[in-house]
Structure 1
Amino acid sequence: INPYEVLGVDPACEGKDIRRAYHKLCLKYHPDKNTGFRKEFDRVQVSYMVLSDSKKKARYDRTGVINLGSGADDAEAEDFDWTDYFRTQFDAISKEMIDKDREEYQGSAEEREDIKKELVALKGDMSKLFEVVIHLEFTIEQEKRVFEICQELIDEGEISDKSIPKWNTYVLKRDQNVKKMERKRCREEKAAEKVEKKRKETGE
């Protein structure tokens, strides 16, 4: 696997960006929260294990090879216990921990700053915020809450109109955008249900 592609980060990104991407994907794929995505969750764990360790990251950047050992010995990497590692990571990130972290994050100054930063990066396309801001998952209620935060940031001059050229378009077509995102959410839920049903039938 390509850990950069799995986490959706650039090779030149900083550690905090890697952690943020990792946390976002853990929320998206954790089996306790979204059934049917265990393989994706495991891929995220391996990718983060590589990119969060300076030595493993440097070796991957140099060779394109993922070394899961603690040193540079390939034999050690071959003996790496994947099952134990995945089980440890799965247990460490429980649904309760995710919910607690979300509760502390949403409505905080950190969330407000993240929304501000990402809205500017997206040039005002608020619909994409739900793909990049940690703990933000689209629902009609969440869209309303986030929209109010964005509007407040604009009204208070924390974001200039020139930096978010797509904002007015989002506002004008807000009803259509919300309906589109709701349809997408429903499709993803149904797809996840089908995957989980198949997993149970096959015993994977």
Structure 2
Amino acid sequence: MAIPFPDLDPYTTLNLTSKSTESEIKKSYKKLCLKYHPDKQHNKSEKEQDEAKLLFEKIQFANLILSDPVKRRKYDQTGSFEEVTDDGFDWFEFFNQCKVEITEESIAKDKKAYQGSSDEEEDIIESWLETNGDFLQLFENIPHIEINKFDEERLFNKVSLLIDDGVIESTKKWEQYKSQRNKKFNKLLRSIKDESGEAEELKREILKNKKLDTEDDLKALIQQRNSGRIDSLIDKLESKYGNKKVSKGTKGKSTKGKNKKSEYEIDDEEFEKIQKKMRK
């Protein structure tokens, strides 16, 4: 099989330079995987999902080259993948193996290790410099951050400490946020509540449409009620109201209604087909 991305720059793809260290490669790869993994794209449009899927494959390819010292050295010397990759290498199988499911358990484990670490501090500093001190952008750029009072307080204290220590500089945006802190953050919270309202509307519509004629009907319904930032909303609703597991390694915690029939009037085989198509 031909090399999938012959003109790809692996360094640019992973936001690195030719002088990046092994630890920097691992860090950037992990961060990009968490952002563009197919399992994290269910609340995006079909076009955005396709774009993320392509970028995810490029990320895998770039990491395959840069994480291997021999492959990286050959690429640096020639600027080509011709002598780096094996002609008999099965790229299709490689990309399929890369699509490891992200479970709630794996996310929780990564979050525990990440928060409060030097990696998180470096990401905060990087975001601060890129956004000219836009505090609220940290909620978009920093992994595992949730929009709640606890994380706002934690980030606020961390940024204040970094400024006091001279690691980063105070900015006009930061001073404006401090002067209107409650007002600005409450506005962000209200926007999240609005999205939660959309989630409730989606739930009611799913229950009302107990029988859907085709899998396209279900997909159209979900896309119509796209709830923006609410990660894995569809998976959670399907798990709760379709009596299905979200993914391997995720155990259902509810003990009520274990023996109840699925709310959808379709058999298990058809439901599984729908789920698989939605995740492509």
Q: TM-score, normalised by structure 1?
A: 0.65
Show the counterpart of 2:126: 118
Q: Does 1:17 align with 2:31?
A: no
Task: Name the CA distance, whole Å, in 2 between partners of 1:61 and 1:50.
Answer: 10
Query: Could you say what the CA RMSD is over the residues aligned between the two structures, in angstroms?
Result: 3.9
Matched residues, number: 184
Cα shift at 1:112: 5.7
Q: Does 1:43 align with 2:58?
A: yes
Q: Secondary structure at the match of 2:112?
A: helix
Q: Does 1:32 align with 2:39?
A: yes
Show the counterpart of 1:98: 107
Q: Which AA in structure 1 matches 2:106?
A: M
Cα shift at 1:120: 6.9
Identity percentage of aligned residues: 29
- Long gaps (5+) in structure 2: 1-7, 43-48, 196-226, 235-276
CA contact (8 A) 1:22 1:44 kept: yes
Q: Secondary structure at the match of 1:32?
A: helix
CA contact (8 A) 2:33 2:56 kept: yes
Structure exhibiting the larger radius of gyration computed from Cα positions? 2
Task: Name the CA distance, whole Å, in 2 between partners of 1:25 and 1:178.
Answer: 29
Q: Which AA in structure 1 matches 2:11?
A: Y
Instruction: Name which of structure 1's ranges 166-175 and 38-47 shifts more when overlaid on structure 2.
Output: 166-175
Q: Does 1:145 align with 2:154?
A: yes
Instruction: Name which of structure 1's ranges 168-177 and 51-60 shifts more when overlaid on structure 2.
Output: 168-177
CA contact (8 A) 2:124 2:138 kept: no
Task: Name the CA distance, whole Å, in 1 between partners of 2:122 and 2:228.
Answer: 27
Cα shift at 1:49: 1.0
Show the counterpart of 2:97: 88
Q: Does the C-alpha gap of structure 1 residues 56 and 143 become closer, same or farther in structure 2, counting only changes over 3 Å?
A: farther
Task: Name the CA distance, whole Å, in 1 between partners of 2:114 and 2:68.
Answer: 26
CA contact (8 A) 1:4 1:10 kept: yes
Show the counterpart of 1:55: 70
